[in-house]
């Protein structure tokens, strides 16, 4: 037996391993394919062996062959076998092979779930690591769903090696299983502050990827990232964060203001080019998001441009490239600052590196002005000549056209020049962009009426020399221009000098070698031309000449009738018959010209490409409405009419809008303009086409400057654009002289003159552009749009975008149904109501009664509107206000960071003035912000009075809505809606002395089953500076404070900030609770140093921290069906209380219970409501609240009787105050 | 995100291909080929970026490549990666390879592609940069080696025995000038 094994392994020794395979392939260069197929046969044999080492070796070789392009999907099962090997080296081979060739379509992949789960929980970190690495490549939606929870656990693994991999792979899990994002996010956020830099970097990486796709959901993390940015020294992390800020700033300009200073500092201080570059990029993004007119920002722009110039001038091609890349971003909003570096950019056009040339071309686009357009294009044309036969030339060609045609030909002063440029471009051989040139020719000829004559003459010349264009070998490209030429000559044939000659050119036999669609246009336009010739000759009374032309047509058209192209054939035969008929009539001496040209009467106007889409839905047309009543389901019937009624109401409201008076309209317009100016995504166009339509009611009213006749309308031979450059210069010179003369005469006249000239100017005035008037006062015919077309463009997002699924609001509290599936114990009673529509219904119910209270309707509406926004913005607003960012972790923070934070807050003060000015234009929310800050104290007093008035005996103090209240989202919702309920705050007084006042709130979260977070607001009430604050509690057996690693139970936890006089800030402390069924109190002390002018004293403040049972509850929505099931299950114990003498309305009462005890209303019928909540350790608590005449009875059911009785006691205390 | 990492030699023969987005086998080969054509016709001392990103989906992508002696290293990345950062990643990658193979040359990569994969797996995971600290990558590699020590060594011994029969192994083709010896990272000081 033993001998057999030895023999077996010796045999194995001479199996080919990977190296042998590679060597073999190298030695069989001539018959590689044959050799490899041999090898694959061998591998197939090896895979049949039982020995796992042999299999692993075989799989390893397969992985290599996969890279060479051989299909190895047939071995998928063997790969899984190797993955499950116990030896790490084999396992690794298996996972590698899987990561290289598994994909979502691999059917055996579902067999791996358990194996991967086993590896993930393996005691060896390398097994886990390799499984994570492999999984990151082939994770499928199923795997993601099944393993999400396991991976989430690994995110808190003790070894950083595992943690960082687990964190990173979460991104892939999110992509495949978006439902996991919300439950996993809190932990991911935690990892941003992981002690291990690798893990931290991984978390930053993941959040940056997420935020890049849906930035708005991650705005609330800005403070945290800001902290990281000012504290981290890892350049990789810094780069990622800075890039992330670049994505966030467009959404929150205030963030940008806060960022500018630290970023500028970084730019000045860093020696790492990569970091410098990203800083510059983000500063640019910030500047784009801010309004450009701010004086103090021009310094930042200058700094950026200056740094970029250094990059561009660097000899390192990479830096040069990146410099140009970033420059093009600045160009979009601050063209002027870039234009001053025109020399440098033109220089880059000559660079030997194509990537650099392309970037420089991009920049040119924004650098042209009326003044320099001709010069730049001339330069580009010389490049075009040099770059023959490359794709770069095509790129040049498109760029020339782009540059010239941008914003409605804004920079073209002389269209004759442009046409001649286009004609010159037709001489390029082998370009793919013939159609582009053709489109331009058509566009210009149609829209610039004044140029038609010239265009036609040029086009007829082009047709004349068509053999030049069409004879080149790669005909398909450039001959497209003949399409345009033929059409222009036909359509505007009245401008032709020698129509007869053109007609003959178009009927040459050579034409039949052109592509079909061009021939078709030829045929059609030949008739147009024919019609106009007929008319001319009949007017001139030359019937013979007319008949000659007809004869020519009859002779030549048959060549098209024989065309292989159906379109050409059809048109030609149709027209041939027509012409023959005309010939007959002509023979009889009947005048036909009128009738023939009637065929082509009327003018074609360009139609905007989106015109169809923009046709507004006519009033009263509801495409969704039923034409016939649908066969009704009994249930939905009730709802339907309501919905329709509701809809109508809205529509009426919309119609009423126009009644707003002029003033209001003007104000709104101004505000909108402001907004647009601030919005980097708003495309600042040249005045919108429609507007111009209105401005210019008819062509007659346009002050037309006489066409400068010094420009010869017909240039002999092929035109040369260079001539026009010179002519144009002369013209401009003359113009200048003239103007100077005029200036001396009368000012008024000059102004009038200017007005006329500026009609076409866009919103972007370029330096001294105003001085140049176009040679032809051209009326650019705008594209037609339907009346009332909607101006906005909704950009249609790709519905298949995988990242769209990750657009998830992360600030909402976690619903129970969202927990990640855990394999072991799936609760049968978790509310499984699938329809999400249920949620709003429940909400609506609670809203309804409130609406009856008319007094507060106004207030309510306001609140409702703002609520959503505010809730999210709160966190950020708080941070963006002057106080230092709230520390989210009790971790000790190095003093350098404190300094950084202080430094950061300083510049914001200066911004405040500006912000306040802006506030007038901004919405209410923004207005509130500075006010809140400035009058914080006043407000507080005011609040206190209010509280007294409403006889809320609790020592509640509402400072400012704290971000942490978000955790109790729906509750807060309820509370806010329940005006006139007394203002409620979950913050209670903890302790107070002459120096400091502490209020606190306890939040629990479902994700951490035995942890609660205590947020303490510390308010400095003295005139001293408070620092070195340290909070300590005496841990009990049941509750312990989480302390930084390495400190003993007697150490305090430092508060991560200092308090200047009159300032308050919030610190959070985490406590671990073992049993939550009893309330308890912890004794604690806050020690601090109070420093004032006389010196520093060491002070102390004792307090008792009260953990009520309610604070362990987490507001959890519950559907009524799940609720019923829960009650039916019967494993809940029951208890009840009754409180007399209650005067408060039932509505407010419920709100109070919701708010203070973290319940949510499941259902409410009259004066009876069922409520639900859940403890952090998973106890269900169900309540039935009934209101009698002057009393309230509460029946409770809970999985733990002690917890229930304690809860009810607490509730009794609350209700007793009502 | 890094979309793909490719290594091929001057003739376009793949030495390593790692795709972080699913592509069929044929598409992978096609991508390698076109990338090779794009990259190989570029002059020396031009910039290391190439906007041929259409290859691996999306115009957002860019090719960052590096040519050293007989090999092209190509990273296809999207706009969330810092361009200069990726260039430094090349440096880290090459230095790590150099350490792992002791004076790395093309043949090392050819014969030990699995090892290259393992090194890469510690640097980049699922398209995201996992670790940039060379010593970390290295020490983990050592640990892995020691763990696999028993299984690993006989195989090496066997191949040594087998190699003796072969005429001669071109072991001396050394590519010493791959910039690998540059001690500091140019963009990350």
Domains delineated in chain B? 2-147 (3.30.450.60)
Q: Is B175 on the interface with A (CB under 8 A)?
A: no
What is the spatial distance between Cα A875 and Cα A810, in angstroms, rounded to a whole number?
Answer: 13
What is the spatial distance between Cα A1086 and Cα A1052, in angstroms, rounded to a whole number?
Answer: 9
- H/E stretch holding A1113: strand A1113-1114
B10 to chain A nearest CA, in Å? Answer: 16
What is the spatial distance between Cα A769 and Cα A371, in angstroms, rounded to a whole number?
Answer: 6
What is the spatial distance between Cα A1186 and Cα A1194, in angstroms, rounded to a whole number?
Answer: 6
Per-window interface: B 52-111 vs A, CB < 8 A: 80, 82-85, 87-88, 110-111
Residues of A in contact with B43 (CB under 8 A): 352-353
Which ranges of chain B have pLDDT less than 70? 52-58, 136-189
Q: Which of B117, B64, B71, B62 is nearest to B86 (CA)?
A: B64
Task: State whether B46 and A352 contact (CB < 8 Å).
Answer: yes
Distances (CA, A) of A736 to A118, A362, A412, A764: 84, 32, 18, 22
> Under 8 Å CB-to-CB from A1174, ≥6 apart: which residues?
A816, A1006, A1113, A1114, A1116, A1180, A1181
Helix residue spans in B15-133 (DSSP H): 25-40, 83-101, 106-111, 113-123
Residues of B in contact with A321 (CB under 8 A): 47, 49
Cis (ω within 30 of 0) for the bond into A980? yes
Q: How many CB atoms lie within 10 A of CB A645?
A: 10
Tokens of B55: 């290859």
Task: State whether B82 and A277 contact (CB < 8 Å).
Answer: yes
Burial of A90 (C-beta count, 10 Å sphere; 0-12/13-18/19+): buried
Residue of chain B whose alpha carbon sits nearest to that of A212: B80
Task: State whether A352 and B43 contact (CB < 8 Å).
Answer: yes
B176 to chain A nearest CA, in Å? Answer: 23
Q: Is A147 on the interface with B (CB under 8 A)?
A: no
Q: What are phi and psi of A234, to 5 degrees?
A: -80, 115
DSSP result, A591-625: --HHHHHHTT-S----B-TTHHHHPPPPTT--TTS
Tokens of A376: 């730049």
Residues of B in contact with A70 (CB under 8 A): 25
pLDDT of residue B138: 61
Instruction: For an interface test with A, give the residue of B29, B121, B161 to mutate (most A CBs within 10 A).
Output: B121
B13 to chain A nearest CA, in Å? Answer: 8
- Distance between start and end Cα atoms, chain A: 87
Q: Is A96 on the interface with B (CB under 8 A)?
A: yes
Q: What is the ipTM of this complex?
A: 0.82
Cβ atoms of A907 and A943 within 8 Å: the answer is: no
Q: Is A127 on the interface with B (CB under 8 A)?
A: no
pLDDT tens digit sequence for A271-290: 888 899 999 888 888 887 77
Please tell me which of the candidates B18, B84, B126 has its beta carbon nearest to residue A169.
B126
Which ranges of chain A have pLDDT less than 70? 1-14, 291-296, 389-390, 430, 468-476, 632-665, 672-723, 725, 739-802, 813-985, 1006-1009, 1218
pLDDT of residue A291: 59
What is the spatial distance between Cα A170 and Cα A167, in angstroms, rounded to a whole number?
Answer: 5
Q: Which of A170, A192, A164 is nearest to A183 (CA)?
A: A170
Strands B49-50 and B14-19: unpaired
Task: State whether A274 and B88 contact (CB < 8 Å).
Answer: yes
Tokens of A335: 């063209």
Please tell me which of the candidates B25, B50, B117 has its beta carbon nearest to residue A69.
B25
A1113: left (phi over 0), alpha (psi -120 to 50) or beta: beta
Cβ atoms of A54 and A10 within 8 Å: the answer is: no
Task: State whether A96 and B128 contact (CB < 8 Å).
Answer: no
A477 to chain B nearest CA, in Å? Answer: 23
What is the spatial distance between Cα B87 and Cα B65, in angstroms, rounded to a whole number?
Answer: 8
What is the spatial distance between Cα A97 and Cα A405, in angstroms, rounded to a whole number?
Answer: 53
What is the spatial distance between Cα A668 and Cα A662, in angstroms, rounded to a whole number?
Answer: 10
What is the spatial distance between Cα A703 and Cα A698, in angstroms, rounded to a whole number?
Answer: 11
Residues of B in contact with A307 (CB under 8 A): none
Per-window interface: A 171-200 vs B, CB < 8 A: 171-172, 198
Task: State whether B114 and A355 contact (CB < 8 Å).
Answer: no
Q: Which of A733, A710, A734 is nearest to A723 (CA)?
A: A710
What is the spatial distance between Cα A32 and Cα A19, in angstroms, rounded to a whole number?
Answer: 16
Tokens of A903: 């430094």
Q: What are phi and psi of A1032, to 5 degrees?
A: -135, 145
Distances (CA, A) of A977 to A650, A923, A964: 22, 21, 19
What is the spatial distance between Cα A527 and Cα A539, in angstroms, rounded to a whole number?
Answer: 18
Q: Which of A1069, A1106, A1117, A1083 is nearest to A1206 (CA)?
A: A1106
DSSP B171: T
For residue A1015, the SS3 value is strand
Cβ atoms of A151 and A170 within 8 Å: the answer is: yes
Please tell me which of the candidates A171, A278, A321 has its beta carbon nearest to residue B128.
A171
Please tell me which of the candidates B18, B87, B110 has its beta carbon nearest to residue A22.
B110
Sign of CA pseudo-dihedral A1040, A1043, A1049, A1055: negative
Please tell me which of the candidates A17, A133, A278 has its beta carbon nearest to residue B121.
A133
Q: Is A328 on the interface with B (CB under 8 A)?
A: no
Task: State whether A171 and B126 contact (CB < 8 Å).
Answer: yes
Tokens of A603: 């003018």
Q: Is B50 on the interface with A (CB under 8 A)?
A: yes
Q: Which residues pair with A1105 in a beta bridge?
A: A1082
Q: How many CB atoms lie within 10 A of CB B142?
A: 12
Cβ atoms of A142 and A110 within 8 Å: the answer is: yes
Residues of A in contact with B84 (CB under 8 A): 273-274, 277, 318, 322
Q: Is A236 on the interface with B (CB under 8 A)?
A: yes
Task: State whether B136 and A322 contact (CB < 8 Å).
Answer: no
Burial of A31 (C-beta count, 10 Å sphere; 0-12/13-18/19+): exposed
Residues of B in contact with A130 (CB under 8 A): 121
CB pairs < 8 Å spanning A and B: 160
Task: State whether A19 and B148 contact (CB < 8 Å).
Answer: no
Q: How many CB atoms lie within 10 A of CB A923?
A: 13
Task: State whether B128 and A93 contact (CB < 8 Å).
Answer: no
Strands B62-68 and A1168-1175: unpaired
pLDDT of residue A1190: 81
A1096: left (phi over 0), alpha (psi -120 to 50) or beta: beta
For residue A638, the SS3 value is helix
Residue of chain A whose alpha carbon sits nearest to that of B113: A64
Cβ atoms of A977 and A864 within 8 Å: the answer is: yes
Residue of chain B whose alpha carbon sits nearest to that of A236: B85
Task: State whether B111 and A356 contact (CB < 8 Å).
Answer: no
What is the spatial distance between Cα A1035 and Cα A1071, in angstroms, rounded to a whole number?
Answer: 9
What is the spatial distance between Cα A729 and Cα A487, in angstroms, rounded to a whole number?
Answer: 32
HSE-up (13 A, CA, CB side) for residue A435: 5
What is the spatial distance between Cα A67 and Cα A65, in angstroms, rounded to a whole number?
Answer: 5
What is the spatial distance between Cα A1113 and Cα A1171, in angstroms, rounded to a whole number?
Answer: 13
Q: Which of A45, A55, A16 is nearest to B111 (CA)?
A: A16
Residues of B in contact with A154 (CB under 8 A): none
Residue of chain A whose alpha carbon sits nearest to that of B158: A13
Instruction: For an interface test with B, give the residue of A105, A137, A218, A325 to mutate (most B CBs within 10 A).
Output: A137
Distances (CA, A) of A828 to A815, A817, A846: 16, 12, 28
Cβ atoms of A996 and A1022 within 8 Å: the answer is: yes
Task: State whether A318 and B50 contact (CB < 8 Å).
Answer: no
Please tell me which of the candidates B126, B148, B187 has its beta carbon nearest to residue A168.
B126
Q: Which residues pair with A998 in a beta bridge?
A: A991, A1018
What is the spatial distance between Cα A1193 and Cα A1197, in angstroms, rounded to a whole number?
Answer: 13
pLDDT of residue A617: 76
Q: How many CB atoms lie within 10 A of CB A834?
A: 9
Task: State whether B113 and A64 contact (CB < 8 Å).
Answer: yes
Instruction: For an interface test with A, give the residue of B50, B54, B128 to mutate (most A CBs within 10 A).
Output: B128
For residue A703, the SS3 value is coil
Cβ atoms of A109 and A144 within 8 Å: the answer is: no
pLDDT of residue A716: 41
Q: Is A803 on the interface with B (CB under 8 A)?
A: no
Task: State whether B118 and A66 contact (CB < 8 Å).
Answer: no
Please tell me which of the candidates B16, B45, B85 has its beta carbon nearest to residue A317.
B45
Task: State whether A353 and B47 contact (CB < 8 Å).
Answer: yes
pTM: 0.56
Q: Is B49 on the interface with A (CB under 8 A)?
A: yes
């Amino acid at each position: 037996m033993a001998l057999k094994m030895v023999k077996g392994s010796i045999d194995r020794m001479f199996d080919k391993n990977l190296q042998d395979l590679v060597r073999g392939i190298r030695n069989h260069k001539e018959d590689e394919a044959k050799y490899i197929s041999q090898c694959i046969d061998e591998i197939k044999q090896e895979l049949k062996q039982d020995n796992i080492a042999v299999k692993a070796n075989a799989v390893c070789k397969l992985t290599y062959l996969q890279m060479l392009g051989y299909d190895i999907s047939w071995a998928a099962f063997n790969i899984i076998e190797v993955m499950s090997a116990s030896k790490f080296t084999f396992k690794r081979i298996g996972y590698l092979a899987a990561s290289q060739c598994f994909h979502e379509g691999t059917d055996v992949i579902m067999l791996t779930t358990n194996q991967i789960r086993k590896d993930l929980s393996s005691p060896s970190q390398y097994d886990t690591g390799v499984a994570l690495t492999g999984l990151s490549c082939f994770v499928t939606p199923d795997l993601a769903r099944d393993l999400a929870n396991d991976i989430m656990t690994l995110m808190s693994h003790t070894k950083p090696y595992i943690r960082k991999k687990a964190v990173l792979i979460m991104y892939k899990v999110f992509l495949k299983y978006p439902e996991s994002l919300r439950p996993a996010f809190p932990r991911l956020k935690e990892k941003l502050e992981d002690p291990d830099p690798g893990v931290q970097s991984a978390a930053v990486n993941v959040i940056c990827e997420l935020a890049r796709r849906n930035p708005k959901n991650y705005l609330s993390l800005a403070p945290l990232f800001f902290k990281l940015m000012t504290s981290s020294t890892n350049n990789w992390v810094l780069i990622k964060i800075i890039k992330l800020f670049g994505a966030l700033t467009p959404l929150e300009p205030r963030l940008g203001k806060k960022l500018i200073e630290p970023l500028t500092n970084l730019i000045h201080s860093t020696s790492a080019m990569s970091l410098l570059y990203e800083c510059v990029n983000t500063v640019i993004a910030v500047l784009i998001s801010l309004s450009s007119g701010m004086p103090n920002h021009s310094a930042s722009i200058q700094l950026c441009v200056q740094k970029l110039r250094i990059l561009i001038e660097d000899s390192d091609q990479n830096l040069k490239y990146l410099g140009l890349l970033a420059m093009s971003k600045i160009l979009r909003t601050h063209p002027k600052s870039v234009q001053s570096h025109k020399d440098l950019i033109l220089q880059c056009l000559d660079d030997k590196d194509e990537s650099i040339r392309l970037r420089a071309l991009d920049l040119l686009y924004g650098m042209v002005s009326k003044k320099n357009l001709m010069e730049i294009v001339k330069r580009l044309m010389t490049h075009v000549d040099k770059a023959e036969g490359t794709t770069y030339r095509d790129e040049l060609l498109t760029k020339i056209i782009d540059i010239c045609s941008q914003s409605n030909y804004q920079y073209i002063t002389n269209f004759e020049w442009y046409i001649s440029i286009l004609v010159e471009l037709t001489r390029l051989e082998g370009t793919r962009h013939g159609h582009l040139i053709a489109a331009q020719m058509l566009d210009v000829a149609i829209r610039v009426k004044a140029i038609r004559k010239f265009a036609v003459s040029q086009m007829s010349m082009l047709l004349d020399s068509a053999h030049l264009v069409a004879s080149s070998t790669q005909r398909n490209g450039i001959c497209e221009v003949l399409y345009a030429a033929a059409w222009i000559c036909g359509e505007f044939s009245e401008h032709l000098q020698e129509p007869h000659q053109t007609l003959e050119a178009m009927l040459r036999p050579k034409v039949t070698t052109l592509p079909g669609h061009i021939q078709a246009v030829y045929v059609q336009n030949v008739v147009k031309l024919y019609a106009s010739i007929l008319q001319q000759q009949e007017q001139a009374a030359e019937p013979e000449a007319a008949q000659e032309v007809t004869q020519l047509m009859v002779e030549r058209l048959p060549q098209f009738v024989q065309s292989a192209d159906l379109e050409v054939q059809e048109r030609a035969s149709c027209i041939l018959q027509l012409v023959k008929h005309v010939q007959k009539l002509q023979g009889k001496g009947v005048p036909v010209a009128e009738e023939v040209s009637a065929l082509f009467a009327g003018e074609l106007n360009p139609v905007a490409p989106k015109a169809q889409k923009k046709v507004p839905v006519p009033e009263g047309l509801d495409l969704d409405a039923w034409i016939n009543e649908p066969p009704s389901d009994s249930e939905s019937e009730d709802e339907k009419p309501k919905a329709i009624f509701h809809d109508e109401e809205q529509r009426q409201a919309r119609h009423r809008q126009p009644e707003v008076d002029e003033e209001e309209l003007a104000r709104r317009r101004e505000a909108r303009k402001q907004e647009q100016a601030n919005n980097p995504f708003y495309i600042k166009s040249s005045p919108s086409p429609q507007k111009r339509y209105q401005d210019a009611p008819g062509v007659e009213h346009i002050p037309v400057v006489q066409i400068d006749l010094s420009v010869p309308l017909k240039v002999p031979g092929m035109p040369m654009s260079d001539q026009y450059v010179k002519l144009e210069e002369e013209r401009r010179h003359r113009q200048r002289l003239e103007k100077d003369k005029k200036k001396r005469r009368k000012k008024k006249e000059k102004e009038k003159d200017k007005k006329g000239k500026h009609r076409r100017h866009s919103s972007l005035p370029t330096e001294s552009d105003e001085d140049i008037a176009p040679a032809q006062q051209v009326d650019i015919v705008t594209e037609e749009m339907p009346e009332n077309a909607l101006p906005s463009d909704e950009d249609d997002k790709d519905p298949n975008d995988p990242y769209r699924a990750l657009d998830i609001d992360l600030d909402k509290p976690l619903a129970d149904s969202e927990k990640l599936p855990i394999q072991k114990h799936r609760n049968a009673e978790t509310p499984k109501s699938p329809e999400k529509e249920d949620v709003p219904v429940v909400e609506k119910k609670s809203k309804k009664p409130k609406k009856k209270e008319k007094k507060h309707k106004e207030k309510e509406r306001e609140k409702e509107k703002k609520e959503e926004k505010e809730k999210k913005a709160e966190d950020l607003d708080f941070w963006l206000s002057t106080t230092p960012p709230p520390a989210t972790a009790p971790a000790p923070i190095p003093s350098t960071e404190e300094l950084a934070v202080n430094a950061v807050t300083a510049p914001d003060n200066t911004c405040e003035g500006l912000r306040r000015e802006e506030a007038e234009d901004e919405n209410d929310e923004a207005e509130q912000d500075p006010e809140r800050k400035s009058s914080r104290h006043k407000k507080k007093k005011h609040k206190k009075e209010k509280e007294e008035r409403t006889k809320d005996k609790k020592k509640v103090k509402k400072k400012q809505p704290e971000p942490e209240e978000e955790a109790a989202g729906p509750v807060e919702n309820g509370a806010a809606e329940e005006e006139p309920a007394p203002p409620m705050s979950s913050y209670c007084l903890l302790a107070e002395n002459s120096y400091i006042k502490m209020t606190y709130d306890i939040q629990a979260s479902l994700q951490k089953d035995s942890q609660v977070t205590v947020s303490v607001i510390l308010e400095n009430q003295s005139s001293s500076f408070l620092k070195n604050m340290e909070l300590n509690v005496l841990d009990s057996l049941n509750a312990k404070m989480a302390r930084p690693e390495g400190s003993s139970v007697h150490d305090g936890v430092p508060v991560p900030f200092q308090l200047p006089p009159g300032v308050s800030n919030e610190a959070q402390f985490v406590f671990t609770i073992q049993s939550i069924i009893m309330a308890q109190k912890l004794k604690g002390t806050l020690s601090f140093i109070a420093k004032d002018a006389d010196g520093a004293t060491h002070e102390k403040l004792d307090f008792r921290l009260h953990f009520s049972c309610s604070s362990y509850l987490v507001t959890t929505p519950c559907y009524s069906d799940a609720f019923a099931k829960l009650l039916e299950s019967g494993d809940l114990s029951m208890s009840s209380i009754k409180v007399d003498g209650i005067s408060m309305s039932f509505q407010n009462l419920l709100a109070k219970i919701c708010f203070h005890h973290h319940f949510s209303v499941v259902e409410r019928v009259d004066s009876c409501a069922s409520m639900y909540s859940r403890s952090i350790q998973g106890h269900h608590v169900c309540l039935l609240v009934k209101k009698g005449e002057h009393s309230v009875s509460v029946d409770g059911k809970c999985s733990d009787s002690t917890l229930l009785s304690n809860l009810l006691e607490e509730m009794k205390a609350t209700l007793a105050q009502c | 995100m890094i979309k793909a990492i490719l290594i091929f030699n001057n003739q376009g023969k793949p030495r390593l291909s790692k795709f972080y987005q699913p592509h069929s086998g044929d598409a992978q080969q096609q991508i390698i080929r076109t990338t090779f054509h794009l990259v190989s016709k570029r002059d020396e001392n031009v910039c290391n970026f190439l906007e041929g990103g259409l290859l691996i989906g999306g115009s957002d992508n860019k090719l960052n490549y590096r040519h050293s002696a007989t090999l092209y290293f190509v990273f296809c990345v999207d706009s969330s990666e810092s361009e200069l950062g990726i260039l430094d990643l090349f440096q880290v990658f090459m230095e790590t390879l150099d350490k792992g193979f002791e004076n790395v040359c093309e043949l090392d990569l050819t014969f030990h592609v699995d090892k290259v994969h393992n090194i890469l797996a510690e640097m980049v995971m699922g398209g995201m940069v996992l670790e940039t600290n060379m010593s970390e990558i290295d020490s983990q590699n050592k640990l892995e080696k020691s763990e696999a020590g028993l299984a690993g060594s006989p195989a090496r011994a066997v191949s040594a025995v087998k190699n003796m029969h072969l005429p001669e192994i071109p072991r001396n083709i050394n590519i010493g000038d791959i910039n690998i010896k540059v001690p500091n990272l140019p963009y990350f000081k």
